[in-house]
Amino acid sequence: MVRKVAVGVGLMEFPFSGADAYWRWVDLCEAGGVDSIWQTDRLVSPSPFLECMSVMAALAGRTRRIKFGVNVLSLAMRDAVLVARQCATIDYLSNGRLLPAFGIGSPLGPEWKTLNLDTKTRGRKTDEGLDVIRRLWSEDSVDFEGVHYHLSGAQCLPKPVQPDLPMWIGGSSEAAIRRTARFGTGWQAGPETPAQAREVVAAIRNAAAAEGRTIDDDHYGAGIPFRFGRGDEPGLQPLFDAYRKRTGRDPLDYFAIGGAVEIADKIGAYVAAGVSKFILRPAAKGDDEIMAQTRRLIDEVLPLVAARWPRPKKRMAAE
CA 137: distance to chain centroid? 20
Give me the pLDDT at residue 319, please.
39
Residue 314 has pLDDT above 80, yes or no: no
Q: Which of 59-68, 226-235, 309-318 shows the lowest mean pLDDT across its residues?
A: 309-318
What pLDDT is recorded for position 246? 82
Strand pairing report for 168-170 and 220-228: unpaired
Q: Where are the domains of the chain?
A: 6-308
Task: Kindly indicate the confidence band of residue 318, based on its pLDDT and cuts at 50, 70 and 90.
Answer: very low
How confident is the model over 127-180, as pLDDT tens digits? 999 999 999 999 999 999 999 999 999 999 999 999 889 999 999 999 999 999
Query: Alpha-carbon Rg of the chain, whole angstroms?
Result: 19
Lowest mean pLDDT among 56-60, 200-204, 228-232, 297-301: 228-232
- Give the C-alpha separation, 74 to 170, whole Å: 10
pLDDT category at 267 given cuts 50, 70, 90 is very high
What is the architecture, at CATH level 2, of domain 6-308? Alpha-Beta Barrel (3.20)
pLDDT, residue 316, reads 44
Contact (CB, 8 A) for 59 and 98? no
pTM to 2 decimals? 0.93
Mean pLDDT of 92-120: 93
Predicted local distance difference test score (pLDDT) of residue 3: 81
Output the pLDDT for position 312.
74
Q: Is the pLDDT of residue 274 over 90?
A: yes
Cβ-proximal residues to 262 (8 Å cutoff; 6+ apart), any chain: 256
Which has the minimum average pLDDT: 125-139, 148-162, 208-222, 237-251?
Answer: 237-251
pLDDT mean over 218-247: 91
What percentage of the chain carries pLDDT values higher than 90?
Answer: 86
pLDDT at position 106 is 84
